[in-house]
A and B are shown apart, each in its own frame.
Chain A
């Protein structure tokens, strides 16, 4: 993604000020809590020191997408791995201070990112998942999409890879976690907005019967990385239900915007290890702006219209 792509991307908001172009990130914020959506999507608040999990996970997923792309374009595994290791080394160098980037996290470190990429490529050396080659001859890897979910409502996103496994089509997604990956880890992906969106988009953009998402989860520990592969299926009627529910939900969040008020969803405050804004929301409304400015900054707003 270049600065030019960011600067020229259309706004995700329509002339009424309400969002019309959604992706799984903005949709998940709005589903989790309208107030979280207000802070993150509408006002663009971000943690002062960034989010190590997002940055680490993004670099990891991007490296593996590129690895699979190089393979599909004919590189050997060794050449493909060398290319992505070089890319990650460069992407994780702090050029202002002339030193490796530091994330202030015990296991999500630069060295452990490189280790996890090397170990993943070796772990899945004999991978039964085969990247699908599209009719135009290009591998179905790193695929940014955008389509109409209904009149005047767009859904956009980015698919890691379309693969064929045992004669069926799946989208793949890579996740990182510091927790042990047990079977229950994968249960959270059904129902799940992001995974349903991937499966739905896979069917629409590739015109192929995508059966679900294959999730390769990497546990990042201080001294090792461990991998587990999980499957989450979606039937056509489940996907249509997701589309209908998503549109109903979008109606609601657009109404909040038109009314200028985003209610708190207090049942979500302690989910996923605690909302980033819990300390702010716990304060009396008149002092919240000071607490917001103490821990967050307003950066560039999230824009689902930016292609990667």
Chain B
């Protein structure tokens, strides 16, 4: 059992802020190890593709008169 497993096996109502800090730190270490390893690093957020100009109409313009919401 790892240190992380031991903390997670305890009733969370008895956890302290330090316990949760440790949990977060240990998951961060695992992320660092994963990103440093041979696996592909997680992709960065992509830019949104641009909508075509005809898609930029206001919905309420388009729905005007068709809904009473």
Chain A residues closer than 8 Å to B46, beta-carbon distance: 228-230
Chain B residues closer than 8 Å to A99, beta-carbon distance: 9
Q: Looking at the assembled complex, report how far the CB atom of B19 sits from the nearest CB atom of chain A, in whole angstroms.
A: 9
Q: Residue A90 contacts which of B4, B8, B13, B31 (CB distance < 8 angstroms)? A: B13
- Decide if A111 touches B4 in the complex (CB within 8 Å): yes
Q: Residue B24 contacts which of A85, A127, A210, A239 (CB distance < 8 angstroms)? A: A85
- Decide if B59 touches A239 in the complex (CB within 8 Å): yes
Other contacts beyond A99-B9, A111-B5, A229-B45: 19, CB < 8 A = A81-B24, A85-B20, A89-B12, A93-B13, A100-B8, A114-B27, A118-B27, A148-B68, A203-B59, A209-B60, A211-B55, A223-B34, A226-B42, A226-B43, A233-B55, A235-B57, A236-B61, A236-B62, A239-B59
Instruction: Give CA–CA (A89, B5) in the complex, Å.
Output: 13
- Decide if B62 touches A240 in the complex (CB within 8 Å): yes
Cβ < 8 Å to B, chain A residues 224-259: 224, 226-231, 233, 235-237, 239-240, 243
- Decide if B39 touches A115 in the complex (CB within 8 Å): no
Chain B residues closer than 8 Å to A204, beta-carbon distance: 69
Instruction: Give CA–CA (A209, B60) in the complex, Å.
Output: 8
Query: For residue B66, which residue of chain A has the nearest CB?
Result: A240
Q: Decide if the interface of chain B is mainly helix, strand, loop or mixed.
A: helix
Instruction: Give CA–CA (A119, B33) in the complex, Å.
Output: 12
Q: Residue A118 contacts which of B31, B54, B58, B60 (CB distance < 8 angstroms)? A: B31
Instruction: Give CA–CA (A148, B66) in the complex, Å.
Output: 12
Instruction: Give CA–CA (A85, B28) in the complex, Å.
Output: 13
- Decide if B63 touches A240 in the complex (CB within 8 Å): yes
Q: Looking at the assembled complex, report how far the CB atom of B68 sits from the nearest CB atom of chain A, in whole angstroms.
A: 8
Instruction: Give CA–CA (A111, B62) in the complex, Å.
Output: 47
Given contacts A82-B24, A99-B9, A123-B42, contact A231 B60 (CB under 8 A): no
Q: Does A207 reach chain B (CB closer than 8 Å)? A: yes
Chain A residues closer than 8 Å to B13, beta-carbon distance: 90, 93
Cβ < 8 Å to B, chain A residues 63-108: 81-82, 85-86, 89-90, 93, 98-100
Chain B residues closer than 8 Å to A235, beta-carbon distance: 54-55, 57
Between-chain CB contacts (< 8 Å), 24 pairs = A81-B24, A86-B20, A89-B8, A93-B13, A98-B11, A111-B4, A111-B8, A114-B27, A115-B30, A118-B28, A119-B42, A124-B45, A165-B48, A166-B48, A168-B51, A203-B59, A210-B59, A226-B43, A228-B43, A228-B46, A237-B62, A239-B59, A240-B63, A243-B67
Instruction: Give CA–CA (A236, B54) in the complex, Å.
Output: 10
Chain A residues closer than 8 Å to B67, beta-carbon distance: 243
Q: Does A110 reach chain B (CB closer than 8 Å)? A: yes
Instruction: Give CA–CA (A161, B54) in the complex, Å.
Output: 26
Given contacts A89-B12, A90-B13, A233-B55, contact A82 B20 (CB under 8 A): yes
Q: Does A273 reach chain B (CB closer than 8 Å)? A: no
Query: For residue A229, which residue of chain B has the nearest CB?
Result: B45
Q: Does A128 reach chain B (CB closer than 8 Å)? A: yes
Instruction: Give CA–CA (A122, B31) in the complex, Å.
Output: 9
Q: Residue B12 contacts which of A86, A224, A226, A239 (CB distance < 8 angstroms)? A: A86
- Decide if A236 touches B45 in the complex (CB within 8 Å): no
Q: Looking at the assembled complex, report how far the CB atom of B46 sits from the nearest CB atom of chain A, in whole angstroms.
A: 6
Instruction: Give CA–CA (A89, B66) in the complex, Å.
Output: 47
Chain B residues closer than 8 Å to A119, beta-carbon distance: 27, 31, 42
Instruction: Give CA–CA (A281, B39) in the complex, Å.
Output: 43
Query: For residue A224, which residue of chain B has the nearest CB?
Result: B34
